A and B are shown apart, each in its own frame.
Chain A
Amino acid sequence: MADAQAHAQDLEPTALQHQFDSLEQQFDASVLGMWVFLVTEIMFFGGLFMAYIVYRTWYPDSFAAGSHHLDVTLGMTNTMVLIASSLTMALAVWAGQQGNRFRQVLFLGLTLLFGFAFLGIKAYEYWEKFQDHLVPGPNFVWDGPGNPHAVQIFYSLYFAMTGLHALHMVVGAGIMITLLVMAARGRFTRQWSTPLEIGGLYWHFVDIVWIFLFPLLYLIERHV
């Protein structure tokens, strides 16, 4: 997260850093570095997924009951927003390879906008849960079906997983702003747009995490 930013800074434009022999080597190293970083991210979320699997198996009914209190429309909207942002991100990377400054700025701007839209909707959902006393902790109240302890565990996992995801979105927005500034200054050329590429990898990863979170949290036992 913070490392991803440090990572982005590690890549001064075009200039070859002292430890590398060629630009190609430098590019390969950066991309591999980002992939390895994403693997650590998978393991990081993995602990939470493990806890989710255990407790959903233990408490299927309470998890369904808790899940039914989530707003599927908002969740679905957010899923669409993120998929759209993945598209614009991919277009921004493509614009980087073309060396087209206007398109880079345009698509990065759109990506950033979608990112903010997602965070806004998420914040609204959190606020609703707060109103309904569904934030785990001393103020948690549950009088619906299911075991209140188990529903609290569901909401703990909901907040932990989506919260961690939202944190990654915030970091991602920071990266987008950095990239936007760099693009506006014309730093990305046909020869060199490494930060765009690895920033893109990061963004897609964060989107994919959501693609897993959405059905697991929002769609339990909701067959039509």
Chain B
Amino acid sequence: MDAIDATLPPPVNYLNAQHGIKSWLLTRDHKRIALLYLFGITFFFVLGGIFAALIRLELLTPAGDLMEAETYNKMFTLHGVIMIFFFLIPSIPATLGNFLVPIMIGAKDLAFPRINLLSWYIYMVGGLFTIAVIVLGGVDTGWTFYTPYSTAASNTHVVLTGLGVFITGFSSILTGLNFIVTIHRMRAPGMTWFRLPLFIWSHYATALIMVLGTPVIAITVLLVAAERVLHLGLFDPKLGGDPVLFQHLFWFYSHPAVYIMILPAMGVISELVAAFSRKAIFGYNFVAFASLAIALIGFLVWGHHMFVSSQSVYAGLVFSFLSFLVAIPSAVKVFNWTATMYKGSISFQAPIMYVFGFMGLFLVGGLTGLFLASVGLDVHVHDTYFVVAHFHYIMVGGAIMGFQGGLHYWWPKIFGRKYPEGWAKLAALVIFVGFNLTFFPQFLLGYLGMPRRYYAYPPEFQVLNIMSTAGASVLAIGYLIPAIYFAWSLKYGELAEANPWGAKGLEWTIPSPPPTYNFEETPVITEPPYNYTPEFVASVTAASRPEVELG
């Protein structure tokens, strides 16, 4: 396992083993399904991005001049629904996770390849519902579907949107089910639980949330649809129902859902930190158990979204306390990554730039999360731009940074070609700058009292809003550059060897791109994870480290 295979891509690999559109649409290969998902989420990211651009354009001036208030409501709803349910939730697990989970544990595929393909079709059908909503005129409830507005007042396409969310939920459930069974039952001989890469641990924790949380949102949106059509009274106070019950059910899923978004990114960061520091992750067990702790405690904190929704003070205090508690395992991870990098010889390439981006932005997002979890402060900033800034630091600054870092790191493995390093570094920098320019002013706006979800605002907020919109343009360019060079690299990129980074891990022991069944014969694992022995480091440094070293 130690030897670096520097041969060129094998003539037959998973990409060219079969040809034609049918061979893709009927594939059961987890690697091809990962690419189908990559196609899907990219499409929805662009779509959601267009809505974001329209939101930011409207907010350039204090007056509501670009669109009607109703249209603006539809813009932020569609933006939120698409970004959450159709982009970020499937992003890392369904693409990088799908591709890497079997390979990293030494398996030929996931346990249920057909169910894996089925999950992609379910996702696409849910997506079609959402596109239908856009074509038919949109939906305006916010991605949170709060009752009784969504059930008794809104005259937009709530039912259709709800069905779309309901359907895609099952794709998420099936992915989670597949991961859990695969990680339990498909590990290669010798791949004990504590030899698993941390990427696997974080995906295991994610899968638990997918399986335990998603059914609850599914039944909840179903009830909203039924209530809307039949006026059952379940969530309508006029008919004896309780709108707050909806909020409980909704956030029971939707808070853990943010861990569906961030945990896989943390898994990516663990791999990247080890690979670029050439060291084992400091405190492996702590990081592994931190993933599980986040998944489990994450189910107990949903009430922090409801401090001002008539929740009792005692419940509020308990939820506040538990929310502080869940910050501990997250902080453990950040400490351990930092400790790993300390005195490591870090090679400064694009993926590690995303790691630094992630750590900085996730830190800000996480700490402001603690502000929001403090009952007293939240009463002040609830439903202001402070919240919008907070969750974008987590979701865009954390999860998407992690996703992009991982995409760069595994790109040579997935496609057998390298991306242009210089452009990649430039893009990482542009994204970091653009991101902060977009979202930092929103913290200030929120603290000063600008509420979210309004299309107009008092003139004194304009300067900060202009900064935010300008930042969004920079950010858009930052996302466009990788789109171009990634596409370019598919044809013109330098051919990648099996282990271009000189990293440990089973995925780097097989050719790039891998053959259809990944391993010629099932590997037998005899060493701990991230076993960067001095001999290994010496052998790979000589072979593949043209870059400057900082240290």
Interface residues of A (CB under 8 A from B): 3, 6-7, 9-10, 17-21, 25, 28-29, 32-33, 36-37, 39-41, 43-48, 50-51, 54-55, 58-59, 136-138, 147, 149-150, 152-153, 156-157, 160
Contact = CB atoms under 8 A, between A and B. Distances in A.
A44 to B, nearest CB: 4
B226 interface: yes
Contact of A152 (B118, B181, B233): B233
* In the complex, the 7 A-B pairs of residues with the closest C-beta atoms, listed nearest first: A149-B240, A19-B109, A44-B215, A47-B219, A43-B215, A156-B232, A137-B230
B215 A46 contact: yes
Given A3-B174, A37-B177, A46-B215, A51 B245 contact: yes
Contacts of A48: 219, 223
Contact of B215 (A6, A20, A33, A47): A47
Size bin of chain B's contact surface: 35 or more
B545 interface: no
Contact of A156 (B174, B212, B234): B234
Contacts of B176: 36
A202 to B, nearest CB: 14
B19 interface: no
A51 B215 contact: no
A17 B186 CA distance: 13
17 contacts: A3-B170, A7-B112, A10-B115, A18-B109, A19-B109, A25-B185, A29-B182, A33-B112, A36-B176, A36-B180, A39-B212, A43-B211, A43-B216, A47-B220, A47-B249, A156-B234, A160-B223
A40 B174 CA distance: 10
Contact of B115 (A7, A46, A149, A157): A7
Contacts of B184: 29, 32
B218 interface: yes
Most chain B CB within 10 A, of A33, A50, A138, is at A33
Interface of B: 102, 107-115, 118, 170, 173-174, 176-178, 180-182, 184-186, 211-216, 218-220, 223, 226, 230-234, 239-242, 245, 248-249, 517, 522
Nearest to A137: B230
A153 B241 contact: yes
A32 B185 contact: yes
B239 A19 contact: no
Contacts of A45: 219
A180 B346 CA distance: 62
Nearest to A149: B240
A28 B111 CA distance: 10
Nearest to B248: A50
Nearest to A163: B226
Contacts of B241: 55, 149, 153
Nearest to B249: A47
Contacts of B178: 33
Nearest to A37: B177
B232 A136 contact: yes
A220 to B, nearest CB: 17
Given A36-B177, A47-B215, A47-B220, A18 B517 contact: yes
A19 B177 contact: no
Given A46-B216, A160-B223, A136 B118 contact: no
B232 A3 contact: no
A47 B233 CA distance: 16
Given A36-B180, A47-B220, A137 B231 contact: yes
B112 A153 contact: no
Contacts of A59: 240
Contacts of B249: 47, 50-51
B114 A40 contact: no
A136 B230 contact: yes
Contacts of A6: 114-115, 118
B448 to A, nearest CB: 38
